Amino acid sequence: MMVGDEYMVESKGGAIACMMISLLCLGTWPALMALLERRGRLPQHTYLDYSITNFLAAIFIAFLFGGSTPDAPSFITQLTQIQDNWPSVLFAMAGGVGLSFGNLATQYALAFVGLSVTEVTTASITVVLGTTVNYFLDNRLNRADILFSGVSCFLVAVCLGSAVHSSNSADIEAKLGSVSGDCKTVNHEECQRLFGEEEEEMERVKEGTAAFLTALENTRAIKVFGKSMVVGLGITFFAGLCFSLFSPLFNLATNDQWHALKEGVPKLIVYTAFFYFSLSCFVIAIALNISFLYKPVLDSPRSSFRDYLSDWNGRGWALTAGLICGFGNGLQFMGGQAAGYAASDAVQALPLVSTFWGIYLFGEYRRSSPRTYALLVGMLVMFTVAVVLLVASAGERETRYN
């Protein structure tokens, strides 16, 4: 609904539409990040580019939609005038810090665990923890019986996701064990052909084979062969814990359930909160990744800021990933403000989108064992059921800013 100059999502149908578009966006940007890492671009370079456009997307959304209404101040008013709303601002910025650490961990988890399992596990943890908190913060706005049935499905999906990773790791070890020592090194030209423009060249190294996996290891920026499975899962669970914090904190920033604001001080509109949220996410991401250029983690290659500035290979995709993620987050919060943040966590079914990209773009699980396929199907079925239940639990919030 357009009131004055501010666009407000007020209907349940509008909120669900926002969530579905957000689901597509948030399931696509990790695939672009994984694609660049597999092509050999350093994660520090990719994440710096991503962070810039992610923040620009938040500014665009805030200026475009954040006008004033009879019941709420505008984005510009809340940004420029002293309104004693710092408790809400700090909640929003704390949420951005959680998202930044989660996204950073995800960048490395994608290499160790794979696109599908990373997204399934992090999203499931986010729902199990974050959605439960949001339900109580929203004063039980959503139907508990439906909501927590969906949460249970996500919890099962976490277990199945871990089992998929374990089974797939065993499949990879079996494939590599069948290759002689002379075949475990693939020359540079063959690696280039894996990601070259001529598709017929890729047929020489079939996806899912030992030769393909070895060529990929030689090409990618983060080397994963010989690393413990626990490392990848540990990074993934850490990312999920970080992600589980940002939605409840954003909820507190816009709805002030803890009554941190003084009487008469307007609550932050969703666009102002999203700006502060994205600002802190941007600052943390830039600071950490510049540090990682000179002191890389997990045996990543060392780089420098000059090297980053001159690295244009894949920069367009990294910038696009930031825009997609920024608009996805904005739409999630717009939908959550209208229908409840617990229901908006339905976008955490984004692994349904990510798994499609993982299989289509990267050939994940090609030539895997029947056990791995069975676990993968079970994981996706649980996710499908979970997202339907979370959407069905949506309520309608009565929005008041005073």
CA distances from residue 351 to 31, 71, 290, 342 in whole angstroms, order as listed: 10, 38, 29, 18
* CA separation for the pair 327, 333 (Å, rounded): 10
For 271, how many CA atoms within 13 A lie in the half-sphere containing its CB? 25
Residue 188: count of CB within 10 angstroms of its CB: 10
| Helix pair 12-38, 86-113: axis angle to 10 deg | 50
* CA separation for the pair 267, 89 (Å, rounded): 10
* CA separation for the pair 26, 19 (Å, rounded): 10
Residue by residue, pLDDT tens for the chain (402 residues) are: 444 444 555 556 666 777 778 878 888 888 889 889 988 999 999 999 999 999 999 899 888 776 656 566 778 888 887 678 899 999 999 999 999 999 899 989 988 888 777 887 887 788 778 878 877 876 666 677 887 888 888 788 778 877 887 787 788 778 766 544 434 444 444 444 444 443 344 345 566 667 777 777 788 888 887 777 788 889 999 999 999 988 889 889 988 888 888 888 888 888 888 899 999 999 999 999 999 999 998 888 899 999 999 999 999 999 999 999 988 888 877 776 655 555 555 666 677 777 777 777 777 777 788 898 898 888 888 878 887 887 677 655 555 545
φ, ψ at 401 (rounded to 5°): -100, -10
Residue 64: count of CB within 10 angstroms of its CB: 12
CA distances from residue 184 to 22, 38, 218 in whole angstroms, order as listed: 41, 18, 10
pLDDT at 206: 63
Residue with tokens 């439960």: 132
* CA separation for the pair 342, 331 (Å, rounded): 14
pLDDT at 192: 46
pLDDT at 116: 75
pLDDT at 342: 53
Q: Are 224 and 217 in contact (CB under 8 A)?
A: yes
pLDDT at 249: 92
Task: Single out the residue of 356, 355, 290 nearest to residue 43, CA to CA.
Answer: 290
* CA separation for the pair 143, 132 (Å, rounded): 12
Please name every residue paired with 66 in a beta bridge, in sequence order, or none if there are none: 6
Q: Are 34 and 109 in contact (CB under 8 A)?
A: no
Q: Are 116 and 353 in contact (CB under 8 A)?
A: no
pLDDT at 163: 84
pLDDT at 323: 94
* CA separation for the pair 335, 17 (Å, rounded): 8
For 315, how many CA atoms within 13 A lie in the half-sphere containing its CB? 11
As a whole number of Å, the CA-based R_g of the chain is 22
pLDDT at 44: 94
Tally the residues of the chain: 402
pLDDT at 346: 60
pLDDT at 239: 94
Task: Single out the residue of 399, 375, 384, 2 nearest to residue 165, CA to CA.
Answer: 375
Q: Are 154 and 384 in contact (CB under 8 A)?
A: no
pLDDT at 250: 87
φ, ψ at 69 (rounded to 5°): -135, 170
* CA separation for the pair 276, 299 (Å, rounded): 33
* CA separation for the pair 315, 373 (Å, rounded): 34
Which structure tokens are listed for 80? 């420029």
Residue 166: count of CB within 10 angstroms of its CB: 16
Any idea what DSSP says for residue 42? -
* CA separation for the pair 238, 141 (Å, rounded): 29
